[in-house]
């Protein structure tokens, strides 16, 4: 497993803390090129590790695959590259994707396109409504060992309806951590994510709501605030969107019918 932290030397600190010149751990950030049948499709800045899950989760979030693909090293064994075998569900076009560690599919499509790819999420009458206290506690259940080491990684967790943690992945990019969890579920044949809860360690963007809807997860919880477009998309697709989950409190922005 690649190391997700790198040692650097501190070049200056607050005068009250004499650590100048001492080592410190920072999160590793490197590019990953995703190829499909030998053709470059996307480049993302990520924390190394779980690259196959990241590639598969990314392609699923773009509506390009709906099952686990053949994915592995490229034919030329290029460093920081992974190859996925096609065919894709649709032609992504001639345009390549570029995503930074803080931004996913910026500027690409809007609510109408998501509506084409995914219908509104159904309300499962057989499920008990979720206690607000459970939703508020999800961020505290995220296991983040690399964040504890570096302070520089985001996390996404997948939970059962009872709040049991099923999977968690960390990455310097919020979207990458999310894609790695979706890839994990895709590899195990657990998509769609019915009766599952997703929790992210940061803010709630349009792209994360889009990925949750395409994965068919009915609930998305975040530590931070949602954006206006994230709320609009969540309401349009009937996703339960909850933000500011901290200190035993949580705000419900859409899909309140699933919350007790």
Active-site positions?
Answer: 103
249's tokens: 């409190």
Tell me: is residue 86 an annotated ligand-binding position.
no
Tell me: is residue 249 an annotated ligand-binding position.
yes
3-state secondary structure of 180: helix
165's tokens: 């943690």
Tell me: is residue 107 an annotated ligand-binding position.
no
Are the C-beta atoms of 184 and 204 separated by less than 8 Å? no
Tell me: is residue 230 an annotated ligand-binding position.
no
Tell me: is residue 244 an annotated ligand-binding position.
yes
* Cis peptide leading into residue 71 (ω within 30°): no
Tell me: is residue 178 an annotated ligand-binding position.
no
Three-state DSSP string of the chain: CCCCEEEEECCCCCCCCCCCCCEEEEECCEEEEEEECCEEEEEEEECCCCHHHHHHHHHHHCCCCCCCCCEECCCCCCCCEEEECCCCCCCCCCCCEEECCCCCCCCCCCHHHHHHHCCCCCCCCCCCCECHHHHHHHHHHCCCHHHHHHCCCEEEEEEECCCCEEEEEEECCHHHHHHHHHHHHHHCCCCCCCCEEEEECCCECHHHHHHHHHCCCCEEEECCCECHHHHHHHHHHCCEEEEEEECCEEEEEECHHHEC
Provide the annotated binding site: 244-249
């Amino acid at each position: 497993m690649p190391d997700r932290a790198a040692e650097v030397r501190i070049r200056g600190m607050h005068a009250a803390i004499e650590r100048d010149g001492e080592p410190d751990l920072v999160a590793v950030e490197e590019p990953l090129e995703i190829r499909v049948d030998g053709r470059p499709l996307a480049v993302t800045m990520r924390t190394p590790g779980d690259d196959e899950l990241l590639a598969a989760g990314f392609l699923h979030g773009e509506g390009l695959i709906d099952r686990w693909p053949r994915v592995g090293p490229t034919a030329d064994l290029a460093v920081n590259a992974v190859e996925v075998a096609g065919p894709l569900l649709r032609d992504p076009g001639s345009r390549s994707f570029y995503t930074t560690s803080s931004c996913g599919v910026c500027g690409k499509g809007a609510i109408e396109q998501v509506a084409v790819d995914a219908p509104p999420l159904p309300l499962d009458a057989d499920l008990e409504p979720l206690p607000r206290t459970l939703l508020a506690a999800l961020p505290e259940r995220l296991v983040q060992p690399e964040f504890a080491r570096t302070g520089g990684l985001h996390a996404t967790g997948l939970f059962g309806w009872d709040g049991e943690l099923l999977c968690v992945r960390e990455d310097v990019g919020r979207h990458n951590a999310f894609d790695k969890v979706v890839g994990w579920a895709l590899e195990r044949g657990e998509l769609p994510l019915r009766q599952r809860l997703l929790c992210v360690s940061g803010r709630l963007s349009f792209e994360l709501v889009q990925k949750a809807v395409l994965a068919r997860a009915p609930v998305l919880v975040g530590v931070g605030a949602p954006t206006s477009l994230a709320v609009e998309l969540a309401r349009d697709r009937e996703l339960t969107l909850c933000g500011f989950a901290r200190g035993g409190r949580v705000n419900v922005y859409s899909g309140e019918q699933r919350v007790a």
